[in-house]
Amino acid sequence: MAEKTMALKLLIDTKANRVLFAEAGKEVVDFLFGLLALPLGSIVKLLSKDQMVGSIGSLYSSLENLDSTYIQPNQDKGILLSPQRQEVNNLLLSAPNPPKVEGYYGCTGHSFGHGPCFQFVTNVCGIQCPSCPGKMNRVLRFVHPESGGMASGNGEGGGGVEGGYVKGVVTYTIMDDLSVTPMSSISSITLLSKFNVKNIDVLKEKNVSFGMQEALELLKTSLESKTVLTDVFLASKD
C-alpha cells in the first residue's frame, strides 16, 4: 500500500529563507488539530525517548523499565506507555487500534438429528448444551464493531456527513508557528503587509507533500519551535 501523503503550498521569503505562511486543505488542518488529541505517552512512543526535549523521556523510560512487581494489580503500565489514541480521519500518525475480541463457546453436538447445534453460546467452556447432549467447547470469537479499523466519521457512507475536525469548504492559512485561520484574499494581503514585504520578487511558492516521516518531524518541531514550517521544509538536511 502506497504511503499516505498530504499537500501544502508554501509561500517563501527567499531573501530571509523563511516560510511566511502556507495554504492547505481540510485534511492537513485535520492532521494538525489531531495532534492535540495525542496523549503524552503516544507522543513519546512516536518520537522515541531520546528525541524528547526535557525530562518526559526519562519519566517514560522509568515506567518502561519498572518491574511489574511494583505496579498495582489493577493497573496496566502499558496503558500509559501506549495509550489508545483518538482516531482522526487522515491522521498520518495514527494506526488503527487492534479490534476488541471476546471469546465465547458454542455447542459441538447435534440438535435432535437436525445437524450441528448453533442455538446457544456461553463464556464458560465445556458446559452442557441446554438443547442437545453436546458440550459447549467450540470456540467462537466476537469482534466489537466499534473497535479496530471501524472508526466512524470518515465521511464515507455516512449520509454525507463530513469527517474530521474542520469543514472542507475553504482553503486554510497555516502560519509558520502552526496558527490556522480560514484563508481569504484580504487576509493574504494583510499578512504580506504584516511581514513588511516590499518586493514581491523575493517571494516564491513551493508545493510540498509530506508523509509519515515529515509528520513526525512536524510533531517533534512543534514541541520545540515557533518556526515549524521553516524548520521542517527549508532547514538543511545535512
pLDDT tens for 120-138 read 888 888 888 888 878 888 8
Judged against a pLDDT cut of 90, whether residue 101 lies above it is answered with: no
- In this prediction, residue 94 carries a pLDDT of 59
| pLDDT computed for residue 61 by the predictor | 81
Are 81 and 187 members of one domain?
Answer: yes
Q: Would you say residue 9 has pLDDT above 80?
A: yes
Does the structure show a pLDDT above 60 at 70? yes
Mean pLDDT score, 196-209: 87
Q: Distance between CA atoms of 29 and 27, rounded to whole angstroms? A: 5
185: pLDDT strictly greater than 80: no
Query: To the nearest whole percent, how much of the chain has pLDDT over 90?
Result: 17
**229 assigned to some structural domain:** yes
Q: Is residue 116 part of a domain?
A: yes
- For residues 33 and 165, the answer to whether their CB atoms sit within 8 Å is yes
Domain co-membership, 134 together with 196: no
User: Within this chain, do residues 22 and 112 fall inside the same structural domain, yes or no?
Assistant: no
**Helix intervals (H) in 117-226:** 185-194, 212-222
pLDDT in the model for residue 158? 44
Q: pLDDT confidence of 198, banded at 50, 70, 90?
A: confident
> Over the chain, what is the mean pLDDT?
77
All three cell numbers of 3, joined, read: 504511503
Q: Same domain for 109 and 62?
A: no
Helix or strand (DSSP H, E) at 28: helix 26-34
Q: Among residues 174, 157, 191, which one has the least CA distance to residue 7? A: 174
132 inside domain? yes
User: Cβ neighbours of residue 209 under 8 Å, at least 6 residues apart?
Assistant: 5, 6, 7, 8
Please indicate, yes or no, whether residues 134 and 175 belong to a single structural domain of this protein. Answer: no
Q: Do 196 and 163 sit in the same domain of this protein? A: yes
* Domain around 18: 6-95+152-233
Residues 133 and 52 occupy one common structural domain: no
Final residue of a structural domain among 110, 125, 143 = 143
Domain count of the chain? 2
Task: Say if residue 88's pLDDT is above 50.
Answer: no
79 and 161 in a single domain? The answer is yes
pTM of this prediction? Answer: 0.63
Residues 182 and 128 reside in one and the same domain: no
Same domain, 47 and 138: no
30 & 46 share domain: yes
**Average pLDDT estimate for 49-68:** 75
- Is 1 among the domain residues? no
In this structure, the answer to whether residues 114 and 189 fall within a common structural domain is no
